[in-house]
Amino acid sequence: MSEYTQIFKGTAFSSKSSQEVQILKDYLFCINADGMIAKTVAPDHTDYQKLLHTYQGKENFHHLADGQYFLPGFVDLHVHAPQWAQAGTALDIPLYDWLNTYTFPIEAKFSDLQFAQEVYEDLVSTLLANGTTTSLYFATVHKEASLLLAKICAEKGQRGLVGKVVMDDPEQNPAFYRDADTQTALADTEEFILAVKALAKSTKQGVYPVVTPRFIPSCTNGALQGLGELAAKYDTHIQSHCSESDWEHGYVQQRFKKNDAFALHDFGLLGDKAVMAHCNFLNDEDANLFAETGTAIGHCPISNAYFANSVIPIAQFHSKGVDIGLGSDVSGGFSPSLFDNVRQAVMSSRMLEDGVDATLPAEKRGVPNARITINEAFYLATAGGGESLSLPIGRLQENFTWDVQIIDTKLSSAKLPIFNDHEDLSDIFQKIMYLVRPENIREVWVQGSKVHERAK
């Protein structure tokens, strides 16, 4: 039993399936030197008392106070790190105009490494404080600043998957913000991949390079082809935007006479380690292709309300066996919190199911069976994110990483409305999901190390 470096005791919530949340009441979580959950022990297990006897009172024994609970750390599948500098602003115009008017100018400023450092340090700390233990990031076109983001994740203890963004088409991107040319874009990407792989050797929680064509409209065929080849050569993750809005979806149809999914597939950009943001306009064949190739959807419900011209039928795609996780899409989504996105995912799905135009009769208003439950949205933010990235994260079970948030429901400044000492734990879970604020997240751990502790 001495092989465990730390033992945690407390009640935890973790997805058992996409619909069911398992309540691990008063469990012991035994963590090994690699920061993995080596064993979970229920109170009625024969080892429980032995473990308590061995570890209780020692420095490496941690137990939760009354009213505190463990949740898995969240996995954010879609963050534009530079856009943190404009979060909450500029949400009043359509996607194409938003990119050109606000977003490309702010991203262009990340050629300045000092500015990049200031924004990226603040963002990574903010995400950790919001319970996000793993993030899949778009940085900018700049190789150096993108590497800086990976270094900041490594230092602050977040599991970061980082992409240097490729946008090389001079017809589609402004002169002040694009890759110099296709060859440079590919050479910079390859150097970036190698640099992040080198950094990963000394990073316990992992840091990963991601091949990142911004989206089809910003890339030439040569870049898309070359990026597919680089992803295969180095076995990297891949990310892009896919079938997001009427305009973007229509542009790809015009250029390739097919939808984004099949176009990306032609360039070798789908696969088990690929995550495509949004995907609102996937048709049945696109969704089947995602399921067959193991490609995941990064669902960004807040952002979609502004830019996607639609609500994605998440329940339908999930039932086809497509991997799905949740993304904040900062700053198309204004909030860095996946709690906020969990709530929006449920609400948007309910509005899709019922419909929104009150002048229509009820039976014509919505899309049947479109709703997802809070349990399912929690799954997307945790286990679904882990499956999407093909990493052992997002569940509090053996052979998964010890990535957790410690939630305090009794904090005097942000107390949850729990008035019964014996309240049903599934009700407490729902109150946590709907009502937690950053103040309630007292500690955050990644791969067995504490990476955030909230001051009073």
List residues binding ligand GUN (CB under 6 A). 80, 95, 99, 103, 214-215, 241, 244, 303, 307, 329, 332
Euclidean distance between CA atoms 266 and 249, whole angstroms:
16
Q: Which is nearer to ligand GUN, 300 or 393 (CB)?
A: 300
Euclidean distance between CA atoms 345 and 356, whole angstroms:
16
To the nearest whole angstrom, how small is the minimum distance from the Cβ of residue 325 to ligand GUN? Answer: 16
To the nearest whole angstrom, how small is the minimum distance from the Cβ of residue 44 to Fe ion? Answer: 47
Q: Which residue is nearest to ligand GUN (CB)?
A: 332
Site string for Fe ion, 277-296 (x = CB under 5 A): x-------------------
| Residues in region 371-410 near Fe ion by CB under 5 A | none
Q: Which is nearer to ligand GUN, 156 or 214 (CB)?
A: 214
- CA distances for 266 relative to 136, 163, 260, 406, angstroms: 23, 21, 10, 44
Residue 324's beta-bridge partner residues?
A: 297
To the nearest whole angstrom, how small is the minimum distance from the Cβ of residue 425 to Fe ion? Answer: 36
- Contact between 329 and Fe ion per CB under 5 A: yes
Euclidean distance between CA atoms 330 and 290, whole angstroms:
24
- CA distances for 144 relative to 114, 136, 297, 450, 452, angstroms: 11, 18, 28, 28, 27
To the nearest whole angstrom, how small is the minimum distance from the Cβ of residue 241 to Fe ion? Answer: 6
Q: Choose among ligand GUN, Fe ion, none what residue 314 binds, the Cβ cut-off being 5 to 8 Å by kind.
A: none
β 237-242/274-278 pair status: parallel
Q: Which is nearer to ligand GUN, 203 or 303 (CB)?
A: 303
Give Cα 192 distance to the centre of its chain: 21
Collect all residues with Cβ–Cβ distance below 8 Å to 299 and sequence separation of at least 6.
77, 278, 279, 312, 314, 324, 325, 326, 327, 345, 380
To the nearest whole angstrom, how small is the minimum distance from the Cβ of residue 277 to Fe ion? Answer: 5
To the nearest whole angstrom, how small is the minimum distance from the Cβ of residue 214 to ligand GUN? Answer: 5
To the nearest whole angstrom, how small is the minimum distance from the Cβ of residue 99 to ligand GUN? Answer: 6
Q: Which is nearer to ligand GUN, 22 or 253 (CB)?
A: 253
Q: Which residue is nearest to Fe ion (CB)?
A: 329
Site string for Fe ion, 253-282 (x = CB under 5 A): ------------------------x-----
Identify the CA nearest to 171 among candidates 227, 93, 251.
251
Q: Choose among Fe ion, ligand GUN, none what residue 214 binds, the Cβ cut-off being 5 to 8 Å by kind.
A: ligand GUN
To the nearest whole angstrom, how small is the minimum distance from the Cβ of residue 107 to Fe ion? Answer: 12
Tell me the DSSP string of 122-141: HHHHHHHHTTEEEEEEE--S
Longest alpha-carbon distance in the chain = 69
Q: Choose among Fe ion, ligand GUN, none what residue 307 binds, the Cβ cut-off being 5 to 8 Å by kind.
A: ligand GUN
Q: Choose among ligand GUN, Fe ion, none what residue 39 binds, the Cβ cut-off being 5 to 8 Å by kind.
A: none
Q: Choose among ligand GUN, Fe ion, none what residue 71 binds, the Cβ cut-off being 5 to 8 Å by kind.
A: none
Euclidean distance between CA atoms 118 and 358, whole angstroms:
47
Contact 325, 298 (CB under 8 A): yes
Contact 263, 241 (CB under 8 A): no
Q: Which is nearer to Fe ion, 277 or 436 (CB)?
A: 277
To the nearest whole angstrom, how small is the minimum distance from the Cβ of residue 183 to ligand GUN? Answer: 22
Euclidean distance between CA atoms 178 and 185, whole angstroms:
9
* Cis upstream peptide for 349 (omega within 30°): no
Residue 452's beta-bridge partner residues?
A: 444
Q: Which is nearer to ligand GUN, 329 or 376 (CB)?
A: 329
Window of 32-40, 123-131, 329-337, 399-407 that interacts with Fe ion by CB under 5 A: 329-337
What's the DSSP call for residue 384? H
Using the structure block, give the residue that is written with the tokens 């990976």.
150
Q: Choose among ligand GUN, Fe ion, none what residue 244 binds, the Cβ cut-off being 5 to 8 Å by kind.
A: ligand GUN
Q: Contact positions toward Fe ion, by CB under 5 A?
A: 277, 329
